[in-house]
Structure 1
Amino acid sequence: MKKFLQAFALSLTLLTASVSFAQTSGQAPAQTAAQGNERPVTPVEPGQPRKDWSFRDAGLIPVQSNGRIKPLDTFAREIVLFETGSRSFEGWDPVDLIFSWITAPREWENHPFIQISRLDVKRQLGLDEKRNKFSPKEIYADSFLAQYAEGLGRPNGATQSVPIAVTSKPDPRDQELRRLVERIGMYRGLISGDGWPVIPTQAPAPWLNLNSSEFLGKFIRSQYAVMLTAHLTKNKEVFDQSVLTTRAAVESEIPAFENATSRMLRYEVIYNRVNPFLIAWICYLIAALLWGAVRVVQSQRGSAVRKFAGSLTAFALFMHIAGITFRCLIAGRPPVTNMYESIIWVSLGVMIFATILYLMHRQAVLFAVSCTLATLGLVAAAAAPAMMDPGIHPLVPVLRSNYWLTIHVLTITLGYAAFALTLGIGNVTLFQFFKRDRDTLAASAKIHGLNQLTYRAMQFGVVLLAAGTILGGIWADYSWGRFWGWDPKEVWALIALLGYLVVLHARFTGWMRQFGFAACTVVAFVLVVMAWYGVNFVLGVGLHSYGFASGGYGWVLSFVLGQMAYVLAAAYAHFRIPSPTVAVPQ
């Protein structure tokens, strides 16, 4: 952060000089490489994607960032996501894009690519409120940001090494301004060479940057110069050869670099480029439609549709598991340390519980619902990368006990998955009350069958949430020295557990009948939303500060209000139409 602030302040104070330096920084590598290459180099117009180039090998070059060694492909994707707010930008390969930034910075000074989403920040900087991306030159035009960055750079005391409770929620506007300062600082660091940690050193020292003046890494710097020059001049042959030379040079300098490390880098590039979760949700979506069609087509065709839907569901599940497995291998830990990872894990949990119940009851509605929920979960995770960081990062100290992380977090989030499945089936059940005037006895029997599925799924959820909450107390005692402290995360987990216990008990004792149970199933999920999302994104206070973030309030509020309106509409339909007297076993 300090490095970003320094780079940002310098770029604002010496704007003319920095732009001049940026122009020469893209030419210096070209001059260096031209001296060692007899082939004449003809400069070309920069700023266009190299559509016919492959950057797979370049993406395998190791770099050090955010506390771990990662492939250049991941490094580039994280930067592009942070700067632009999306995983892709105008058809550029991420590696191609950051190479273009360093070799042709003058053009990018006037090109809008830096993300600013909040209207109040745009107004503060005098920017067009209808746009979300702006050029560095547009952002520099107002002096407010320079003053703000200078204030952030002032010392504010030593940081705490022991976890403390966060007692106030960060201001969203201030958070956006901080991110903007970091984006400008990161971009300036990239075009100056100060943001390229590419020269290995002995651990635990951080790697040296591309513009470092130390003798260590001189050969690597020269190879990067050749590679960047070839990129600038669109010399594909020289670029491909220099990529292999640069990668070999970097790997030879990494202490204890083994085949296992190289294999992990390859796995990470495969994970990045295959994008298994994208394939999974597309297949889930098609499978959900097919499962929904199973009951409305003729019996013979229905059997064929069921088989195809089952095969597509199995393939989607395979890709889903493959994506999570890749993340586990790359990170060396369970994939549930932030909201992005918990959503993809909960989506998988929904499919697991649906599969178990399908094997018991053979009801196509289970996969129709679960595939729909898995699609929504994976799409939500992919659609908001700025809110839910998809990056793979080292754990904060309080999470570094893999044993307790596995036992507590995996267990409690599997409970959320079971409750999500009850939400989906509950919505389908409530829909039946709109149709009861057509065949009341058949509809009542169908509702009873759906409620039975919901009841079984809810039992899974209650057991797992109870176990996860208790084990969370053990983890808290291990990490923070107390079993229970009425932290907001703990309180809302307990509230959710008690809420579902009430629903289960009312269903078991007969206090709730068919409609009441289905309606309460949907309403109770609001407690899960609060425990899972609300504490971290809305309240933002307590000891679980490592999970705090912001964003998505409108979407979540719309979901909650939509579900409440749906329950009220179903209630109106239920009480408007007389119910038949049917004996329903409990």
Structure 2
Amino acid sequence: MINRSGLRIFLIILCIILPSTLLGKELNQFSQIAIQHGGRKKPLTVFAREILLSLSGKDSIKTLEGEKVGSTDFVLSLWFHPEGWERQPVILVDNPLLRKDIGIDQAKKLFSFQQLKENNLFKDFVVKHLHRPEAEGSSLNPEEKEAMAVSGRLKLFEELYSGEIFHVIPNPLDPNKKWVTIENATQYYPQGLSESLLVIFDSMKRAYLQGNFSKAQEEASFFSKQLKDYAPRVYPPNDSLLFEHTYTVLNPWKWTLICYGIASLIFLLSRGWQPELGYRIGWGFAVFGFLFHVYGFICRILIAGRPPVSNMYESVVWVSFGVMFFALVFETIYHSRFFLMAACPFAAICMMLVDSQPLIFDPTIQPLVPVLRNNFWLTIHVLTITLSYAAFALALGLSHIYLWNASKNSAMGGFQKGVLAKYIYRSLQIGVFLLAAGTILGGVWANYSWGRFWDWDPKETWALITLLCYLAVLHGRIAHWWGEFGLAVGSVLCFLSVLMAWYGVNFVLGKGLHSYGFGSGGLGYVLLYVFLEISFVAYCLLKYRLRKKEQQNPPPSPIQV
């Protein structure tokens, strides 16, 4: 499946990217300082990126003076000298209706803490909409959800500004104890040791504020070493901190997106020009992107200590991985070009969404909620369900190719449409098998976790609806209710049920026991996608019926005199 040339290219480029990345500005000894946040111990640099993404939706910001500030410098500046940051635009207000209601600039999205904190209209809005007894996350409209999110960002900024969020001092005797700030080090260490740590911290702080970054990094390294010496059983080892820092800075998902995007363009542009050469080059980029995909998953699994499928971000990345896996396997068997042509654009769009929408698809690694902490069931049930989505997505891509060429009556590169219809049918069979198996296994897990196999929970109900939709499409093909064209149409329309089960239950309905996946945002994009899909199917149906009508009623031949 993965040829040697693709692997060789991957290793060469990785060897080029990795050193240049590690020598960049973001790599510094501050990554060796661990901080306890969100139930995990993580490098300070990773913490900084997550914090800035949470506040502003970006990993760097521009100050009022026009200076671009990266996430690490932003957090260090707030830690060492917070004065003045309360006037900088760092807090996102994304909903335009909320911006209008509270009377702030409609042309901007980022505002200062001071500006929002002193906004009486915002205070009144929060009191009126969010403090009412019946207000719940699932019953809030998008404007109210955004107000709740902004309130959370204000609270987060307050914790940063006061310094109470910087839990860098561990308890040397108890790994389960909550870490404390440097000012509270005397809770865990004798007076002499805590004073010694405070002296090192003040030296690091003074060097940073004076602009002596090399000295500040030396002090950061010494600070982390002292903590490690004082609490060797609790403090994370340097290798694990550097590993997570490298994963975050390298961002393998970005390179995955680039490779899949290039492969998609190559497959599209080379159909009528140098198809064999384009096929080989596209193969290489698809394999290269897949290897980055695998590398990213390995890193995330090692960091989190679990399969990466606990939230929407991880499931989108996993489904795009599954699509490419199925496509590469089938392409190796059939050498048809269509599998990678169908899979690469879908995978690229998925990776683009998770890379560009961090507030919708949260990229942070969080501990599992209790119901998900059984890794066996998490692996078996969730991976099976989401792999079925991947098979359905591959069928979706193949169906787009079929419908477009059928509406145009294209020869499709020498392949008969019946061959492509067979590929669609096989992909649907795999998806139905995996979805049925995953639904049954989910019932077993539900009995194990909640004491019942089925309770018509929204997630369960929509999984069943999706299964029945695809079963109807397959059954209709066997019963000759529709032909190959109808199979392709059904594959496209049934994917809308996948979208509802995958996204709609958690982000639109927001109800049920599967609370670990709830979220908000992205509804406009999803509705646009649904509209475009229905419009595409309607267009192809119209063109197909007109062509059929022309074939059944050909124009009369001219009378020869």
1:470 is matched with 440
Residues 218 and 458 of structure 1, relative CA distance in 2, 3 Å threshold:
farther
Residues 171 and 366 of structure 1, relative CA distance in 2, 3 Å threshold:
same
Give the residue type in structure 2 aligned to 1:183.
R
Greater displacement, 104-113 / 349-358: 104-113
Question: Do the aligned residues in 1 keep the contact of 2:130 with 2:148 (CA within 8 Å)?
Answer: no
- Aligned sequence identity (%): 37
Is 1:58 the equivalent of 2:30? yes
Question: Do the aligned residues in 1 keep the contact of 2:56 with 2:110 (CA within 8 Å)?
Answer: yes
TM-score in terms of structure 1 length: 0.83
Give the residue type in structure 1 aligned to 2:184.
S
Unaligned residue ranges in structure 2 (runs of 5+): 1-22, 63-67, 553-561
How far did 1:381 drift? 1.0
Count, aligned residues: 515
1:297 is matched with 273
Is 1:247 the equivalent of 2:217? no
Question: Do the aligned residues in 2 keep the contact of 1:416 with 1:461 (CA within 8 Å)?
Answer: yes
From 46, 54, 60, give the equivalent of 1:74: 46
2:59 is matched with 87
**Aligned counterparts, 1:187-198, within 5 A:** 187-198=157-168
From 162, 172, 176, give the equivalent of 2:146: 176
Question: Do the aligned residues in 1 keep the contact of 2:227 with 2:235 (CA within 8 Å)?
Answer: no
Question: Do the aligned residues in 2 keep the contact of 1:291 with 1:365 (CA within 8 Å)?
Answer: no
From 132, 142, 150, give the equivalent of 2:119: 142
**Aligned counterparts, 1:3-82, within 5 A:** 53=25, 55-82=27-54
Where 1:194 maps in the other structure, the secondary structure is coil
How far did 1:93 drift? 2.7
Residues 125 and 148 of structure 1, relative CA distance in 2, 3 Å threshold:
closer
Separation in structure 1 between the aligned mates of residue 210 and residue 24 of structure 2, nearest angstrom: 14
How far did 1:536 drift? 0.4
Residues 168 and 272 of structure 1, relative CA distance in 2, 3 Å threshold:
closer
2:260 is matched with 284
Separation in structure 1 between the aligned mates of residue 196 and residue 417 of structure 2, nearest angstrom: 72
From 366, 379, 390, give the equivalent of 1:406: 379
Separation in structure 2 between the aligned mates of residue 113 and residue 450 of structure 1, nearest angstrom: 51
Residues 549 and 184 of structure 1, relative CA distance in 2, 3 Å threshold:
same
Is 1:224 the equivalent of 2:196? no
How far did 1:472 drift? 0.4
Give the residue type in structure 2 aligned to 1:540.
G
Where 1:578 maps in the other structure, the secondary structure is helix
From 431, 437, 449, give the equivalent of 2:419: 449
From 80, 102, 106, give the equivalent of 1:129: 106
How far did 1:139 drift? 1.1
Question: Do the aligned residues in 2 keep the contact of 1:264 with 1:329 (CA within 8 Å)?
Answer: no
Where 2:421 maps in the other structure, the secondary structure is helix
Where 1:113 maps in the other structure, the secondary structure is strand
Where 2:348 maps in the other structure, the secondary structure is helix
Deviation string 1:495-542 (CA, Å, 9 cap, x unpaired) is 100110111111123221122111111001011001100100111111
From 322, 325, 346, give the equivalent of 1:352: 325
How far did 1:404 drift? 0.4
1:234 is matched with 211
Separation in structure 2 between the aligned mates of residue 263 and residue 322 of structure 1, nearest angstrom: 17
2:396 is matched with 423
Separation in structure 2 between the aligned mates of residue 268 and residue 507 of structure 1, nearest angstrom: 49
Separation in structure 2 between the aligned mates of residue 246 and residue 152 of structure 1, nearest angstrom: 46
Question: Do the aligned residues in 1 keep the contact of 2:271 with 2:413 (CA within 8 Å)?
Answer: no
How far did 1:443 drift? 9.0
1:335 is matched with 308
**Aligned counterparts, 1:540-559, within 5 A:** 540-559=510-529
Deviation string 1:44-81 (CA, Å, 9 cap, x unpaired) is xxxxxxx9855432122111111111111111111101
How far did 1:224 drift? 2.4
Question: Do the aligned residues in 1 keep the contact of 2:164 with 2:181 (CA within 8 Å)?
Answer: yes
Question: Do the aligned residues in 2 keep the contact of 1:55 with 1:96 (CA within 8 Å)?
Answer: no
Separation in structure 1 between the aligned mates of residue 127 and residue 198 of structure 2, nearest angstrom: 32
Residues 153 and 339 of structure 1, relative CA distance in 2, 3 Å threshold:
closer
Unaligned residue ranges in structure 1 (runs of 5+): 1-50, 157-165, 582-586
Greater displacement, 490-499 / 310-319: 310-319
Residues 153 and 362 of structure 1, relative CA distance in 2, 3 Å threshold:
closer
From 295, 299, 312, give the equivalent of 2:285: 312
TM-score in terms of structure 2 length: 0.86
1:563 is matched with 533
Is 1:519 the equivalent of 2:489? yes
Residues 493 and 226 of structure 1, relative CA distance in 2, 3 Å threshold:
same
1:379 is matched with 352
Give the residue type in structure 1 aligned to 2:48.
A
Give the residue type in structure 2 aligned to 1:323.
G
How far did 1:295 drift? 3.3
**Aligned counterparts, 1:147-158, within 5 A:** none
Give the residue type in structure 1 aligned to 2:514.
H
Separation in structure 2 between the aligned mates of residue 553 and residue 168 of structure 1, nearest angstrom: 14
Separation in structure 2 between the aligned mates of residue 305 and residue 527 of structure 1, nearest angstrom: 35
Question: Do the aligned residues in 1 keep the contact of 2:32 with 2:221 (CA within 8 Å)?
Answer: no
Deviation string 1:307-356 (CA, Å, 9 cap, x unpaired) is 22222211111101111111100000000000000000000000011112
Is 1:364 the equivalent of 2:356? no
Separation in structure 1 between the aligned mates of residue 26 and residue 527 of structure 2, nearest angstrom: 43
Separation in structure 1 between the aligned mates of residue 240 and residue 309 of structure 2, nearest angstrom: 20
**Aligned counterparts, 1:425-440, within 5 A:** 425-436=398-409
Separation in structure 1 between the aligned mates of residue 128 and residue 40 of structure 2, nearest angstrom: 30
Give the residue type in structure 2 aligned to 1:112.
P
How far did 1:435 drift? 1.6
Deviation string 1:459-490 (CA, Å, 9 cap, x unpaired) is 11000000000000001001100000011100
Deviation string 1:208-264 (CA, Å, 9 cap, x unpaired) is 0133373634433332222222111101232121111112122223351488x4332
Residues 52 and 409 of structure 1, relative CA distance in 2, 3 Å threshold:
closer
Where 2:168 maps in the other structure, the secondary structure is strand
From 272, 278, 299, give the equivalent of 2:248: 272
Give the residue type in structure 2 aligned to 1:515.
F
1:161 is matched with none
Where 1:197 maps in the other structure, the secondary structure is coil
Deviation string 1:429-459 (CA, Å, 9 cap, x unpaired) is 11013322x76xx799632222111111111
Greater displacement, 459-468 / 210-219: 210-219
Is 1:502 the equivalent of 2:462? no
